[in-house]
């Protein structure tokens, strides 16, 4: 077997150095979800190339088929401001899933990075390929379908296809008609495409445009950004915080329970009730039957006279619906796995709010984060947790 040329070995060394540089670039991005998965993909490519280096049995096609160009383009995207996740998997149904390359703008934008040759992309899109090969148009449809299943604030994420090596004009136009945002150099067609199909113009997928943030912590910003959401879904934690003695002028205590003392200190510094009242103003308040029954049980068991009175007043403000009101859950929320911070009651409460396109008000940030790890997001307003404390005041030390 003939030995590889010095030029080929030099190219191999360059590719290995490039891969190692990509790994170094990712070291400062460890807070981005999925970054270790991307790092692992790069290291696998580098390890393969190092094996070729050691064996000195490298072929030109092995270098040209390396996936490092695509991975390098992903790294270039990942280091941009606003990226929150890479290599994120979403399930379309029980049999199909989609790997989204880049998620940015607090979940508002999904991006796919394509480094393939523009001519081969165009040829594949017209059916000139081996049987079973999926074109960029097929992949675009997958992204659009999946984006509708995983909305932020009830709107699908924008879908961006970024072509590192460019894209030919006709194929770019097809993608734009579908609703894909095309980035990259648009090149003249390498041939005349007589079979250009404009049937996508009537597709429902062209409705995909803008989206909104998932969680708002600042109430003023929340109200300003979501004026169109007039319905608030109250979680048990929100109702407890609203009626608690602690949030209604009785926070100057040192309780026997450390967690209550900590919450009292937070309340003195950052009162929750004014935030909730400002959020509730002019809104329709709803909750599901399970949430209300759990809240009522907690108040009757642990609440004091004033807390029970406030709970009764709150009931006049809140419309309670059956848990199943609004129909069936969509696929992602129906299949959200109950484990860790994802409890069955929380899943029920948040899914109820999602079906009614409400903003769910809750202190349960653990559920929101755990659900997001499974690819499921909710429209939420997260506030600090406050427990019922009236019954504990008699054994607490009052701060004068």
Report, as an integer, the average pLDDT of 222-242.
Answer: 82
**Residue 3 — pLDDT band, cuts 50, 70, 90?**
low
Report, as an integer, the average pLDDT of 100-124.
Answer: 91
- Token pair 């945002």 is at which residue? 181
Report, as an integer, the average pLDDT of 290-310.
Answer: 95
Work out whether strand 231-234 and strand 186-187 pair parallel, antiparallel, or are unpaired: unpaired
Q: Which two tokens stand for residue 251?
A: 């926070």
Angle ∠(141,104,163) on CA atoms, nearest 5: 55
pLDDT at 191: 64
Residue 31 has pLDDT above 90, yes or no: no
Report, as an integer, the average pLDDT of 305-334.
Answer: 94
The pLDDT tens digits of the residues spanning 261-275 come to 999 999 999 999 999
CATH class of 80-211: alpha beta
Residue 62 has pLDDT above 90, yes or no: no
The pLDDT tens digits of the residues spanning 161-212 come to 999 999 999 999 999 988 899 999 999 988 644 343 333 322 222 222 222 2
Burial class (CB in 10 A: 0-12, 13-18, 19+), 156: buried
pLDDT at 384: 92
CA pair distance 363, 357, nearest whole angstrom: 19
CA pair distance 345, 287, nearest whole angstrom: 12
The CATH superfamily label for domain 215-398 reads: 5'-nuclease (3.40.50.1010)
pTM: 0.63
What are the C-alpha distances in Å from 54 to residues 50, 58, 69, 192, 218?
6, 10, 22, 47, 57
**Residue 224 — pLDDT band, cuts 50, 70, 90?**
low
First to last CA, the chain: 90
**Residue 222 — pLDDT band, cuts 50, 70, 90?**
low
Is the separation of the CB atoms in 121 and 168 below 8 Å?
A: yes
- Token pair 């062209």 is at which residue? 206
pLDDT at 311: 97
**Nearest one of 284, 288, 248, 280 to 267, comparing CA atoms:** 248
- Residues 87/88/91/95 CA torsion (nearest 10 deg): 20
Residue 4 has pLDDT above 70, yes or no: no
């Amino acid at each position: 077997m003939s030995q590889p040329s010095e030029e080929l070995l030099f190219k191999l060394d360059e590719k290995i150095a490039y891969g190692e540089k990509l790994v170094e670039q990712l070291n400062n991005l460890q807070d981005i979800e999925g970054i270790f998965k991307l790092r692992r993909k790069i290291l696998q490519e580098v390890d393969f190339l190092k094996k070729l280096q050691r064996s000195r049995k490298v072929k030109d096609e092995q270098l040209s088929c390396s996936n490092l160009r695509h991975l390098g383009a992903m790294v270039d995207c990942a280091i941009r401001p606003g990226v929150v996740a890479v290599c994120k998997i979403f399930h379309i149904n029980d049999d199909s899933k989609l790997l989204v390359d880049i998620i940015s703008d607090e979940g508002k934008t999904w991006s796919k990075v394509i480094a393939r040759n523009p001519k081969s992309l165009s040829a594949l899109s017209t059916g000139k390929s081996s049987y079973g090969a999926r074109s960029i148009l097929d992949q675009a449809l997958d992204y659009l379908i999946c984006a509708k299943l995983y909305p932020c604030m009830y709107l699908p994420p924008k879908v961006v296809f970024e072509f590192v090596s460019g894209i030919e004009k006709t194929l770019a136009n097809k993608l734009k008609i579908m609703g894909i945002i095309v980035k990259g150099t648009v090149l003249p067609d390498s041939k005349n495409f007589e079979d250009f199909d404009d049937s996508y113009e009537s597709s429902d997928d062209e409705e995909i445009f803008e989206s909104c943030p998932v969680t708002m912590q600042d109430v003023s910003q929340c109200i300003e950004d979501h004026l169109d959401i007039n319905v608030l879904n109250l979680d048990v934690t929100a109702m407890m915080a609203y009626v608690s003695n602690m949030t209604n002028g009785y926070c100057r205590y040192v309780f026997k329970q450390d967690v209550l003392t900590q919450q009292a200190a937070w309340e003195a510094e950052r009162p929750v009730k004014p935030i909730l009242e400002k959020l509730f103003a002019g809104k329709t308040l709803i909750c599901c039957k399970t949430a209300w029954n759990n809240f009522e049980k907690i108040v009757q068991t642990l609440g004091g006279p004033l807390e029970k009175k406030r709970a009764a007043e709150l009931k006049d403000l809140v419309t309670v619906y059956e848990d199943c009101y609004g129909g069936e859950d969509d696929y992602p929320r129906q299949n959200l796995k109950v484990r860790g911070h994802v409890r069955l009651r929380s899943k029920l409460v948040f899914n109820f709010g999602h079906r009614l396109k409400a903003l769910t008000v809750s202190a349960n940030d653990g559920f929101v984060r755990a659900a997001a790890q499974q690819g499921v997001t909710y429209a939420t307003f997260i506030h600090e947790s406050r427990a019922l404390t009236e019954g504990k005041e008699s054994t607490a030390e009052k701060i004068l």
